[in-house]
Amino acid sequence: MTKDVQRTKTAEAEKTSTVADYIVERLAREGIEHCFGVPGDYVFPICDAVERSPKVKWVGCANELNASYAADGYARIRGAAMLATTYGVGELSAINGVMGAKAERSLVFHVVGMPSYQHQRVGKIAHHTLGDGVFGDFVLISAAAACCHAVIDPDNCVVEMERVILEARRNNQPAYIVVPSDYALTPVVPAEVEPIAIKSNAPALEKAMTVIAGRIKSAKSVVAFPAYTILRLGLQKQTQAAVEALGCPFVTTLMEKCVIDEGHPQFAGMYAGATSDPEARQALEGADLVLDLGGVNLNDVTTASYSGRIDLSRFITVGLNDVRIGEDVIAGVRLEDVLTELAKLKPPQAPYRAKPHRAPPVAGNPSDRITMAELYPRYASFLRAGDTVVLETGSTSLGLPPMVLAAGVRVEAQVLWGSIGWATAAAFGIAIADRERRTVLITGEGSHQLTANDIGAMGRFGANVIVFVLNNDGYLIERGLEENPDWTYNDLAPWKYAELPKALGCVDWFTARVATLGELDEAMKAARASKTGAYIEIVAGKMDMPPVLAYAHGRLKAMYGDTP
Ligand SMILES: Cc1ncc(C[n+]2csc(CCOP(=O)(O)OP(=O)(O)O)c2C)c(N)n1
Ligand SMILES: [Mg+2]
């Protein structure tokens, strides 16, 4: 940051009236234009500052959990998001979503208003506390869901905001900013801040590149393995340039689906353990050198229950802030800088050419009942350039990924944290973050029941999402695991899903409940044509599951019996 910017910052602090205004304006400078949240008296000063701000708009959600998911979705597209909740009751409801953002490296600034310093100082018994005059407990809980936190007062405001923003940016994880309600209304004390740019340490970068270049040269086969963090940091173009300069094949797991278009000639396919695309499995497991770009998450979901044979000693892992080669760690190296350096390599004469990946054929008769075998190819042919598809945990998050998707489709899913209900609210945040693209939500009805009330917020804020709700009469992904598929805990209240948009205040949405392929095809056409939101309830068989799910279930049962 230049001296000019630094001076501007101090000047801004001086002319900004309150701590609350400063926090909002400073976050606006991070590119944030919306604040998701639910108001409450302790956080009123922040809400009021948002209302006053010409840069940040308030986006009210039905509850704090939804707001946290929406903020996560927004941050994935914009690079950062703002979430505002009240003390205790509000922030604790948001924790699952903020913790998920931490797990999946999505930068949410969680701003919370707490009881006034005046009341804290004399130990008043206050609402939203345990009635014991203790005020710090919830701060510790919320802080655990962030990578850094600050308790703001007028004196530390400028310095602490810089510190948490820097740290949150370095890790691309949430920051928790809590401010007592009286301090929020107090004028901020100007301070000189020494800005620290996020960049690599030059000798460390040089050392890392020497090691990487050496390993590339000596390897008989190289594969690039871009991580989900590429999406979070918006480094897709740089990654593609690096992969093209390397000329090697690249593979992705379902966490990075479509990070580079699946039609790219170097795309060897999706890696998912033993259920991988065979070409992808060979490219990854057979490679002498795996260039992990961003820190791929090899968990039970991405590896089909650890079913592959991955040799981590062949990995070079380029993390956000370091490079790991076996036991050696080179710290102070940024992922984006490594990508830029890799892109300078001279591409080989004959880069890798993968077998072309084809979208599966759409089949079946119009009068046929909808089956998973026919549904997923239909989703694949429905999705097109400019769509951002948001996948929910459940049978859908495993059914869609094996489908090859069109160029220009973006996929978002919460694969590691896997908290159901995420996709509905995250789709809302994603639609708010980018109105140029069409957001398409694909969810199971059980997950949808957790957060469906913010379909109302989609209508209210003109977020024209296309929603597909798979109604298979319960929690299929769980039902399939059980010895007895009739255990009642996988049953649900039989909602009339297609009636929800109207009941929740969405005006002129296209809605349909479809049970045959012909009805589905017609509804898809109408949804695509709709200028408002669209909502399609798909009625499907109770035990009809996509093949990958059937495999994963068999594998889990083999590993754990009936208690995963
Ligand atoms: C917050 C949370 N609670 C519980 C679970 C466990 N869980 C994982 S998937 C699932 C059911 C999903 O059902 P549905 O959305 O109907 O999808 P289906 O598999 O039926 O297509 C449940 C309860 C979870 N992942 N997250
Ligand atoms: Mg279901």
Residue 128 contacts residue 86 (beta carbons within 8 Å): yes
Interval 451-496: pLDDT, tens: 999 999 999 999 999 999 999 999 999 988 777 888 899 999 999 9
Does 424 sit in the ligand 1 pocket, CB within 6 Å?
no
| Ligand 1 proximity of 422 Cβ (cutoff 6 Å) | no
- Ligand 2: distance of its center to the CA of 543 in Å? 10
Range list of H helices, 383-467? 395-399, 422-433, 445-451, 455-460
CA distance 303 to 178: 39
Q: What is the pLDDT of residue 444?
A: 98
Tell me the CA distances in angstroms from 183 to 16, 105, 518, one per residue in order.
Answer: 14, 30, 61
The whole-number mean pLDDT for each consecutive block of 10 residues of the chain, a chain of 564 residues, reads: 43 70 97 98 98 98 98 98 98 98 98 97 96 95 98 97 97 98 97 88 98 96 98 98 98 97 96 93 97 97 91 97 96 98 93 90 96 97 98 94 95 98 98 98 98 98 98 93 84 98 97 98 98 97 86 67 50
Instruction: State the DSSP string of 180-214.
Output: EHHHHTSPPPP-----------HHHHHHHHHHHHH
Closest ligand by atom to 473 CA: 2
CB 192 within 8 A of CB 6: yes
Residue nearest to atom 4 of ligand 1 (CA): 420
- The pTM of the whole model exceeds 0.75: yes
Count other C-beta atoms under 10 Å from residue 295's C-beta. Answer: 18
Contact 294, 317 (CB under 8 A): no
Rounded Cα–Cα distance for residues 328 and 498 (Å): 55
Given this model, what pLDDT does residue 12 score? 53
Q: In terms of Cα–Cα distance, which of 373, 486, 490, 501 is closest to 420?
A: 490
477 lines ligand 1 (CB under 6 A): yes
* Residue 473: closest CA among 393, 548, 538, 524: 538
CA of 394 to the centre of ligand 1 (A): 5
- As beta bridge partners, residue 177 has 111, 150
Q: What is the Å distance from ligand 1's center to 476 Cα? A: 8
**Alpha carbon separation from 225 to 241, 249, 291, 463 (Å, rounded):** 14, 9, 6, 34
Check pocket membership of 393 for ligand 1, CB cut-off 6 A: yes
User: Is 132 exposed, middle or buried (CB count within 10 Å of its CB: 0-12, 13-18, 19+)?
Assistant: exposed
Q: Both tokens of residue 268?
A: 């060897």
Best probe residue, ligand 1, of 420, 443, 468 (max atoms within 8 Å of C-beta): 420
Q: Where in 415-561 does DSSP place strands (E)?
A: 438-444, 466-471, 510-514, 534-539
Question: What separation, in Å, do the N-terminal and C-terminal C-alpha atoms of the chain show?
Answer: 50
- Closest of 138, 134, 131 to residue 112, by C-alpha: 138
pLDDT in the model for residue 555 = 67
Report how far residue 153's alpha carbon sits from residue 71's, in angstroms, rounded to the nearest whole number.
25
Nearest CA to ligand 1 atom 13: 475
CA 473 to the chain's CA centroid: 27
Q: Which of 497, 546, 542 has its CA nearest to residue 523?
A: 497
396 lines ligand 1 (CB under 6 A): yes
pLDDT of residue 15: 60
d(CA 135, CA 367): 62
Q: Which residue has the tokens 């590896």?
A: 303
Is the minimum distance from the CB of 470 to ligand 1 under 6 angstroms? yes
Report the candidate in 418, 410, 426, 135 with the shortest Cα–Cα distance to residue 258: 410
